[in-house]
Amino acid sequence: MTNPRPNEMTIEEAARALRAREISVRELWDACHSAAEEKNPELNAYLEIFKADDAAIESAQKRIYAGDAPLLCGIPLAMKDNILIEGKIASAASKMLENYKATYDATVVKKLKEAGALFLGRTNMDEFAMGSSTEHSAFGTTKNPHDESRVPGGSSGGSAAAVAAHMAIAALGSDTGGSVRQPAALTGIVGMKPTYGAVSRSGLIAMGSSLDQIGPLAKSVADVKIIFYTISGIDPLDSTTITENLYSRHESKEHLKIGVPRHLLTEGIEKDVLTTFEETLKKLEEAGHTLIDIELPTSGYALAAYYVIMPAEVSTNLARLDGMRYGLSKEGKTLLDDYVDSRTTGFGEETLRRILLGTFVLSSGYIDAYYHKAEKAREVLRKEYNDAFENVDVIAVPTTLSPAFKFGQKSDPVAMYLEDIFTITANMTGMPAISVPMGSVERDSKKLPVGIQFTAPHQAEDVLFAIGTAVERLQ
Amino acid sequence: MATTEEVQKLAALARIRIEDKELEKFTSEFDAILAYVGQLEKLDVSGEREMKPPLRNMMRLDSESNAVGANTEKMVEQFPASKNNALVVKQIISHD
């Protein structure tokens, strides 16, 4: 058996090879860095590839030699462009923050640095994490490594493409409505959105604050788990972070009860995606897990409620960007002109659309019909999921309705929004969810990966890792 | 149905400008999104109270703060315009 090239390794494989002294931290960095440099002109996964941090590489190597290094020590990672690394630009793929240099480290970055991880660069995304394809980036689209005429998904499309094309060992993304899981599914890797509050949002450029979570994108479930346990934990800088046992514990068992909401799978899903999903379930059943039909009647309203709550939070969060203290600044005749000119020049079309929508649903006269109603729908949804988890350990659906779509195929905003239909519920309920590759389907004689998504009760990430590993074993 | 005037008004509230040539497109997209979101009307939540999370103090206690000026340089560097470490903005109160 030949070893994979260093940049093709998983975190587990690289950590083992580093400890066995088969490769050095420098060799691992160089392999990832040169793969990134080589493939980026084609894929545009990175907005910026960093130069080697010699001190960090050397110190990681020393820790590995010393024998007590964490698994992420010396591992080169890609970071989504909305996560702050002190002294580096964090633009959220927006002209508004094109030249904004982070003045502090995000808590996740601080934790990764402490673990000895290395940063390869900042990855492309939809502007301010709004989109499902990277087509809303102000700096060009990222291409799907499996078929360059197709999107990598989004908004963390750059991170997903970087990992799938072995331009990084793993990556971080952020997930407000599916932005880690959907690109993971469309590029054939694993992606997880943790329980709301499990991972600190300090230093993540805010989109929808009640929905946002930072999550790992990696080549295996085991790698996702390693990153998750490194970046999670309570943080005084994010008052929404939760203690380890806030919710009642859900033990992971050898054989799990898998809830399948088949009533949600009757329309919209492409046939071969559904077939692949059913085959995967069947194999899981043969492996000893139990399938149980469940009903989640309010799920049909989840996306509508999401498109009220999310823009409301977006318009509030992005109000701070007005050309005054940092970011793009345009000078007009009056102070009001300064605001309006800076914001109109700095924000892209989708961002403007969601700011308008958010301003509308929060305006007096509409707030009850939209925002308050959506908040109630969210509560009903949360109860429905909690009730379902009385009888099942996880809930399974395909992560997306179809494999990666072509650039320009979803130019109508609502068509793009529907891309999130299966992923947003986890953000609405705050529950953790993982997307794991379940196989591939063929389009234009190219094999395109598709993913299966599992949702678990709050803080039951370990159950997700168990079922995710079970799916990996089927392949 | 949203009118172009309503979209203009929202834009003004949000401190953004929609150019005239884009106004119709924005208005029709806005309508399509509202039509989708409008499904919520059919959902009966009459039995549901809006849930407010139990209140608890999330503010940290006063403790040692950053040294004065520890982050000034980094932050001033991000200002679009600065003078003596202060942010330069337009005069908004006139003297006449």
Q: Which domains does chain A have, with CATH numbers?
A: 6-231 (3.90.1300.10)
Mean per-residue pLDDT, B5-25: 93
pLDDT digits 0-9 by tens, A275-292: 999 999 999 999 999 999
Does some domain include residue B78? no
> What pLDDT, on the 0 to 100 scale, is given for residue A428?
97
- Please say if A80 is a catalytic residue: yes
Measured at the alpha carbon of residue A209, what is the angle toward residues A93 and B16, in degrees to the nearest 5? 55
Q: How far is CA A341 from CA A16, A51, A104, A336, A382, in A?
A: 53, 35, 28, 8, 41
> What pLDDT, on the 0 to 100 scale, is given for residue B51?
63
The strand ranges marked E within A287-393 are 290-293
Residues in chain B within 8 Å Cβ distance of A300: 39
pLDDT digits 0-9 by tens, A31-65: 999 999 999 999 999 999 999 999 999 999 999 99
> What pLDDT, on the 0 to 100 scale, is given for residue A364?
86
Look up residue A424 and give its two tokens: 């947003």
Does some domain include residue B59? no
pLDDT at residue A473 is higher than 90: yes
Distance (Å) from the alpha carbon of A220 to chain B's nearest alpha carbon: 36
> What pLDDT, on the 0 to 100 scale, is given for residue A253?
87
pLDDT at residue A179 is higher than 80: yes
Look at phi and psi of residue A256 and say left if phi exceeds 0, alpha if psi is from -120 to 50, else beta.
Answer: beta
- Please say if A143 is a catalytic residue: no
Domain count, chain B: 1
CB pair distance less than 8 Å for B48 and A376? yes
- Please say if A364 is a catalytic residue: no
pLDDT at residue A144 is higher than 70: yes
Percent of all residues in chain A with a pLDDT value above 70, rounded to a whole number: 99
Three-class DSSP category at A109: helix
Catalytic residue among A24, A39, A80, A220: A80
Nearest residue, CB atoms, A301 vs list B7, B39, B58: B39
pLDDT band at B47 (very low <50, low <70, confident <90, very high): confident
Contact (CB, 8 A) for A391 and B57: no
Residues in chain A within 8 Å Cβ distance of B43: 298, 301, 373, 377, 380
> What pLDDT, on the 0 to 100 scale, is given for residue B53?
65
Contact (CB, 8 A) for A152 and A194: no
Catalytic residue among A179, A202, A232, A315: A179
Burial degree of A66 (CB within 10 A; 0-12, 13-18, 19+): exposed
Higher pLDDT: A168 or B52? It is A168
> What pLDDT, on the 0 to 100 scale, is given for residue A235?
95
Please identify which residue in the block is written with the tokens 């633009």.
A91
Distance (Å) from the alpha carbon of A344 to chain B's nearest alpha carbon: 5
pLDDT at residue A1 is higher than 60: no
> What pLDDT, on the 0 to 100 scale, is given for residue A3?
66
Beta strand A257-260 pairing with A394-398: parallel
Nearest residue, CB atoms, B33 vs list A324, A327, A357: A357
pLDDT digits 0-9 by tens, A198-238: 999 999 999 999 999 999 999 999 999 999 999 999 999 99
Residues in chain B within 8 Å Cβ distance of A336: 15
> What pLDDT, on the 0 to 100 scale, is given for residue A475?
83
Among residues 145-174 of chain A, which lie with CB inside 8 Å of chain B?
none
Averaged confidence pLDDT in chain A:
96
Among residues 338-367 of chain A, which lie with CB inside 8 Å of chain B?
338-341, 343-344, 347, 352-353, 355-361, 363
Q: CA A87 to CA A89: how far, in whole Å?
A: 7
pLDDT at residue B84 is higher than 60: yes
Q: Which of A15-19, A30-34, A127-131, B62-66 is least confident?
A: B62-66
Percent of all residues in chain B with a pLDDT value above 90, rounded to a whole number: 51
Does some domain include residue B53? no
Nearest residue, CB atoms, A304 vs list B11, B37, B92: B37
> What pLDDT, on the 0 to 100 scale, is given for residue B80?
94
Nearest residue, CB atoms, B15 vs list A305, A343, A417: A343
pLDDT at residue A157 is higher than 70: yes
Q: CA A39 to CA A394: how far, in whole Å?
A: 37
CB pair distance less than 8 Å for A347 and B81? no
pLDDT at residue A419 is higher than 90: no
Among residues 360-399 of chain A, which lie with CB inside 8 Å of chain B?
360-361, 363, 369-370, 372-377, 379-380
Q: How many cross-chain Cβ pairs, A to B, lie less than 8 Å apart?
A: 128
pLDDT band at A2 (very low <50, low <70, confident <90, very high): low
Distance (Å) from the alpha carbon of A474 to chain B's nearest alpha carbon: 39
pLDDT band at A353 (very low <50, low <70, confident <90, very high): very high
Contact (CB, 8 A) for A159 and A217: yes
Catalytic residue among A91, A133, A155, A159: A155
Domain range for B10: 4-42
Mean per-residue pLDDT, A342-368: 94
Contact (CB, 8 A) for A303 and A421: yes
Distance (Å) from the alpha carbon of A183 to chain B's nearest alpha carbon: 23
Nearest residue, CB atoms, B29 vs list A308, A344, A353: A353
Mean per-residue pLDDT, A438-457: 98
Nearest chain A Cα to B34, which residue? A357
pLDDT band at B94 (very low <50, low <70, confident <90, very high): confident
CB pair distance less than 8 Å for B30 and A338? no
Three-class DSSP category at A297: coil
Mean per-residue pLDDT, A235-256: 90
Does some domain include residue B33? yes
pLDDT at residue A271 is higher than 60: yes
Q: CA A455 to CA A437: how far, in whole Å?
A: 15
Nearest residue, CB atoms, B80 vs list A323, A344, A363: A323
Interface test with A, best of B1, B6, B16, B66 (most A CBs within 10 A): B16
Interface test with A, best of B23, B43, B85 (most A CBs within 10 A): B43
Distance (Å) from the alpha carbon of A164 to chain B's nearest alpha carbon: 33
Q: CA A52 to CA A74: how far, in whole Å?
A: 12
